[in-house]
Amino acid sequence: MPDADHRIYLLAGAALFAIGFYSLLVQAHLLRRIMALNVMGSGVFLFYIALAAQTPGPIPDPVPHAMVLTGILVSVCATGLALALADRVQASTGRVELEEDEDAADPSDATPVASDERKEKPSA
């Protein structure tokens, strides 16, 4: 494979990673942020696949392929965990965005139900 060919894929992988990271920082909606993480991950995987093609000869290097398979496995688990957690956050706060930092609620000053009412903010 000529050199310029896979360089495009390397750059595309890096670009996907950057786009994903940018979205993770600027988006508030939890689902969008989880998707942003997945875009970042896909960028990394593309990068690895392009690396595997870099080896001379017709057969690509299998080691990055094995790494990507492992990475995809991790990424599936991560997405599952993130979705479950986002669901719990929504069930508990009624919102699909994270609240601004309140370092820690005082567990003694109110029951969870009361603190829910106290801190309810309009989600607009």
Partner 1 sequence: MTSAWAIALLILSPLAAAALAFAVPKRGRGLAFGTAVVVGAAIVQLTRAVLAGGVQTHRVGGWGAPLGIDLRADGLALLMLMVTAGIGTAISLYAQGYFRSGHDDDAPHRERYFWPLFLFLWTALNALFLSADIFNLYVTLELLGFAAVTLVALEGQRAALTAAMRYLFVSLSASLFYLLGVGLVYGQCATVDLASLAVKAEPGPTLWVALALMTGGLIAKAALFPMHFWLPPAHANAPAPVSAVLSALVVKGSFYILLRLWFEAFPALMTPGVAQLFGGLGAAAILWGSVQALLQPRLKLLIAYSTVAQIGYLFLLFPLAAEREGGFVGWSGGLVFLGAHACAKTAMFLTAGNILHAAGHDRIKDLDGITQSLPISACAFGLAGLSLVGLPPSGGFAGKWLLLNSALAQGQWWWVAVILIGSLLAAGYVLRVLTHAFTRVAAPTTPNPIPPVMEWTALTLALLAVGLGFASHWVADLLRVGAPVIGPVLMGGAAP
Report the interface residues with partner 1, using CB under 8 A: 14, 17, 21, 24, 30, 33, 37, 40-41, 43-44, 47-48, 51, 54, 63-64, 67, 70-71, 74, 77-78, 81-82, 85-86, 88-89, 92-93, 98-99, 101-109, 112, 115-116, 119
Q: Which is nearer to partner 1, 105 or 124 (CB)?
A: 105
Q: Which two tokens stand for residue 7?
A: 């360089």
CB 51 within 8 A of CB 67: no
- Residue whose pair of structure tokens reads 């991790």 in the numeric block: 74
Minimum CB distance to partner 1, residue 101 (Å):
6
Q: Where are the alpha helices (DSSP H) in the chain?
A: 3-26, 30-53, 62-93, 112-118
Q: Which is nearer to partner 1, 57 or 112 (CB)?
A: 112
Minimum CB distance to partner 1, residue 11 (Å):
13
E strand or H helix at 59, and its extent?
none
Q: Which is nearer to partner 1, 104 or 124 (CB)?
A: 104
CB 18 within 8 A of CB 27: no
Minimum CB distance to partner 1, residue 66 (Å):
9
CB 96 within 8 A of CB 90: yes
Minimum CB distance to partner 1, residue 4 (Å):
16
Q: Which two tokens stand for residue 75?
A: 């990424």
Q: Which is nearer to partner 1, 52 or 58 (CB)?
A: 52
